[in-house]
Structure 1
Amino acid sequence: MSQNPNIKTVDVIGLPVAVVDYRSAIDWVFEKARLADRAYAIEAANTHVAALARHEAEFGEVMQQFDLICPDGMPLVWAINRELRKHNERALSDRVYGPTLMVESIKASEGQEDLKHFFLGGSPSTLKKLEQRFSDEHPAAKIVGSYSPPFGEWSEDEFERIKDRIRESGANLVWVGLGCPKQERWIAKHKDVLPGGCYFGVGAAFAFHAGEVDQAPPIIQKYGLEWLYRLIKEPRRLWKRYFKYNSLFLYFYIRGIKLC
């Protein structure tokens, strides 16, 4: 991992999570996007990502390829703040939530011709809604393309097709919504050969912003209960994931405290 030396990180169950807010994360991202000397991998990590990276060595190696890991989940913020307070350092006041990071980045790029966005993932209808929403709400932002890859296993030439689409668009801010952990594995696997710019793993952000899935109310997000809200909405799909990885996160975190 090649973290910016100006950004402090805190180890959260083995994951080096950046001590950033939206402004500092966006400043870092825009600097790297403009540089575009290589592909930079950015993740908004929640407890699922952190626990999976600790539990499965292969995914842990995937996350080591990421250049900036933001604290998406409130439990990660609480873990970071516990360490910061030990050293009398200023605590974070909020998380860096992936869907909000996406909106704020697009908003902050308005009127800046050298910052260009591309959406990768989701269905054609989802992408159409995304492009329409951001064009309506942030007309001065440069949305230069999108691509909906086929479902299931991809053919051998699919990566070349995606890479060509991104390069031809001129995008240097690429939002990847393939779902976790597929999007993280895809970014890490191809990082060395992707066009220069910033690549974000943003999970359900596409569905949220396209209006296809409801986001939890802010008060629920603040208290780290977004997982419960989503579980109530989609119990059959999410209960196993939340039970397993929330439990694993607690186990690894508590064990780490005891070992200190």
Structure 2
Amino acid sequence: MTPFPWAAFVASLPWTAGAVVVVLMLTFAVAVRQGRHSLMDVAWGPGFVAVAVVAWVLSAGHGDDGRRLLLLVLTSAWGLRLGLHIGLRARGGHEDPRYRNLLAGAPGSRNAYALRRVYLPQGAVMFFVSLAIQVGMFTAGPPGWLAAAGTALWLVGFVFEAVGDWQLAQFRKDPARKGTVLDTGLWRYTRHPNYFGDAAVWTGLFLIAADSWPGVLTVLSPALMVWTLAAKTGKPLTEKAMSGRPGYREYVEATSGFIPWPPKRP
């Protein structure tokens, strides 16, 4: 068994962390100019792509080329699609209500407060979650059955997230559906197909990394992402915002909260 190149991996960490910092600072500069710190949502996916690209370059000659390329392609496809989707959705808009409420009570400079409460925490999460990708880039040995399972799970997650986002976008375009609840398509089987898809994508990427030692040690990276989506800022905040909408209580009673499942019959 080829030993893990710990020295090369550790030496790469300042560079991958630097990629996160560069993405955050560029986003912060544009956000200050536009007065919209919700642009951080647009940069979220591409930030992971930046980390993956840097890790891919620095792991050359150390990790397995097949796994390196697989992680780069899958991370890039997920991150660029997400960034494009959110960017198009936010085009020409105003500050997201979540960010407006968070920054409303800023003591002193609103921008400095945003830097502490938005950019630094999200940057730390981005770096920690991406450790599965970073470690996977440096692991030796060709991808096996666990990597194949991870790729399949990634594909399921990517489809749920992309299709769920598209269905929601089409729903919002219909003026007749304003104020109602989307309960068709993938939204019939889970109240959050986009969040479930995101969780599946990152669990799949972890499995690709865990296919070879020491990728299994990064299990807390996808665990943090799944916890954030299902129990912290994703599902809970969305459902709180939707709770007063007519028909939403009935939708909650009939539809799975996260993992897709056939709806309950009335």
Greater helix percent: which structure? 2
In our comparison, the structure showing a higher alpha carbon Rg is 2
Q: Same fold (TM over 0.5)?
A: no
Larger RCO (CA within 8 A; separation ≥ 6) = 1
TM-score range, shorter chain: under 0.3
TM-score by length of 1: 0.25
